[in-house]
Amino acid sequence: MADIQPLLSMKGITKSFPGVLALEDVDFTLRKGEVHALVGENGAGKSTLIKVLTGVEQPDQGSIELNGKPILVRSPQHSQELGISTVYQEVNLCTNISIAENIMLGHEPHRFGSIHYKKMNDLAYQAIQRLGIDLDVTQPLGNFSVAIQQMVAITRALEIAAAEVLILDEPTSSLDIHETNLLFDVMRKLKSEGIGIIFITHFLDQIYQVADRITVLRNGKLVGTFETASLPRVELVAKMLGRSLTDLDAMSKIKSTGEQAREKKSLVEARNLGRAGFLEPVDLDLNANEVVGIAGLLGSGRTEMADLIFGIETPDTGMLAFHGEKVNDFSPAESLKRGIALCPEDRKAEGVVGDLTIRENIILALQARYGWFKFISSQKQYEIAEKFIKLLGIVTPSPDQLVKNLSGGNQQKVILARWLATSPQVLILDEPTRGIDVGAKAEIQKLVLDLAKEGISILFISSELEEVLRVSNRIVVLRDRKKAAEYSGDVDDQTIIRTMAGNL
């Protein structure tokens, strides 16, 4: 197979953004008639590589060849003209018009200066039958499931763009098992026709169901490309995380001293808590004076669990209790009143407000809990801000410094200060150390342990397995939006990795 001319070849792709080297000398090849999985954790470079391939971004260095000929992809529209099409997780079609109109949009057949609807419907029906699907193409797209909408998007890519390269970006995230299998049948059919498919997913089971080869990226670099049949799942997980299975280092676990001697005080109990298509029913207990770590690959359900407990999403099964009382009203505002706080995963989009000062950012959640008719005085605001600037060691000349002018680590501390100002009993930290330097990470990890000593219950979510092991008293492992296992006391990273891979 090595001497086969690749359909697509990307060589030495390098791309940087201000302060970030997103891709460094990455190679990627796609053969005709193969499904090639592109995998990696957050920040691995998958999205940037696809953006370079589809002309959204221009590479700083490197070259791209299609069918052995050099190409320079100028824009997403140009990539489609070249035969490279992308179908995203969120289908960007028009649900208020028919399937046929979606497939033929911009390429409708005309007769006597008007759209020839019968011919358009016939062409669209023939096109979607190519995927082995029988549909009434005259019906509005919105009448059909997300899976069918994706099939329509794929049909459009094949029919209008004449795609040779099809990129499927997280196509199964919103699909059930039956719909996923239907998509896989379509992928296998297209593969038999010589279409090259780049399959981006976080579901390991699905990779091994349908992919011929796997390319792993980590921190913007190529880890390697592997034949799926020769790469055990546990080794794939290890490569994604950057861990060695044969040379495991001993990690110190600086836990809260005397924790074992203290009586457990239950704060949160989740029983069979879940939401269809979001998170499978799960049991979870959060106790005072304890850090519960959540381990799992991206897409395993880590953030989904946090969102259910904090009330961003409402469960449709199971029960959640706080201090033994059943929770009936799920919302962030009600969670704040109970004493539950969430430090979100995306610091820039959901956390800091860059154009506000440190003081204004810190008091946001507390003001929201009081209500906007009970305004916190300026004097009190400064007292609160200065208290947490000192407590957390936020490096700033003044509480009136704009948050956008702080380093990533200091921004993260501001978000922590915001939630600590509400005096929470339960603190959910979703990727609290992402994107900050080693020194700031160590400070935040120490703060987590100190907070647990003071009686706070902490749910600690991180894609970095080492820090989950370092700070957690218990570890819950999630896989494919399900709880795979829970470990108390000492557990090594090999056990966690094998659980994440489904080998236990």
Half-sphere exposure of residue 302: CA atoms within 13 angstroms, side-chain side? 28
Pairwise pLDDT comparison (45 vs 259), residue with the higher score: 45
Mean pLDDT of 94-106: 89
Residue ending a domain, choose from 209, 241, 273: 241
pLDDT of residue 147: 80
Residues 326, 265 within the same domain: yes
pLDDT of residue 310: 92
Residues 209, 328 within the same domain: no
Q: List Cβ neighbours of 438 (8 Å cut-off, separation of 6 or more).
A: none
Residues 204, 318 within the same domain: no
Averaged confidence pLDDT in the chain: 85
pLDDT of residue 210: 95
**Which tens digit of pLDDT belongs to each residue from 75-93?**
998 998 999 988 876 677 8
Residue 369: inside a domain? yes
Q: List Cβ neighbours of 389 (8 Å cut-off, separation of 6 or more).
A: 358, 396, 399, 417
N-to-C CA span, the chain: 34
Residues 451, 311 within the same domain: yes
Q: How confident is the model at residue 53 (pLDDT cuts 50, 70, 90)?
A: very high
State the residue range of the domain holding 62. Answer: 8-241
Residue 2: inside a domain? no
CATH of the domain at 449: 3.40.50.300
Residues 207, 279 within the same domain: no
Residues 129, 145 within the same domain: yes
Residue 313, judged by CB atoms within 10 A of its CB (0-12, 13-18, 19+), counts as middle
Residue 258: inside a domain? yes
Residues 87, 177 within the same domain: yes
Q: What burial letters (b/e) apply to 117-150, b meaning 16+ CB within 10 Å?
A: eeebbebbbebbeebeeebebeeebeebebbbbb
Residues 278, 301 within the same domain: yes
pLDDT of residue 433: 77
Residues 401, 464 within the same domain: no
Residue 353: inside a domain? yes
Residue 3: inside a domain? no
Residue ending a domain, choose from 241, 274, 294: 241
Q: How confident is the model at residue 438 (pLDDT cuts 50, 70, 90)?
A: low
Residue 221 bridge partners (DSSP): 218
Residue 416: inside a domain? yes
Residue 313: inside a domain? yes
Over its C-alpha atoms, the chain yields an Rg (Å, rounded) of 25
Residue 249 scores a pLDDT above 60? no
Distance CA 101, CA 396 (A): 57
Nearest Cα to 37, choosing from 201, 192, 175?
201
Residues 178, 276 within the same domain: no
The whole-model pTM stands at: 0.63
**Which tens digit of pLDDT belongs to each residue from 462-493?**
877 878 888 899 999 999 899 999 998 678 88
3-class DSSP state for residue 39? strand
**Which tens digit of pLDDT belongs to each residue from 284-330?**
999 999 999 999 887 888 989 999 999 999 999 999 999 989 989 89
Counting the structural domains of the chain, the total is 3
Q: Percentage of the chain with pLDDT > 90?
A: 38
Residue 1: inside a domain? no
Residues 275, 399 within the same domain: no
Distance CA 447, CA 398 (A): 22
Residue 246, judged by CB atoms within 10 A of its CB (0-12, 13-18, 19+), counts as exposed
Residues 438, 472 within the same domain: yes
Give the count of beta carbons closer than 10 Å to the beta carbon of residue 333: 11
Residue ending a domain, choose from 387, 408, 423: 423
DSSP letter string, 348-370: IIII--TTSBHHHHHHHHHHHHH
Q: Is the dihedral of CA 375, 379, 382, 386 positive or negative?
A: negative
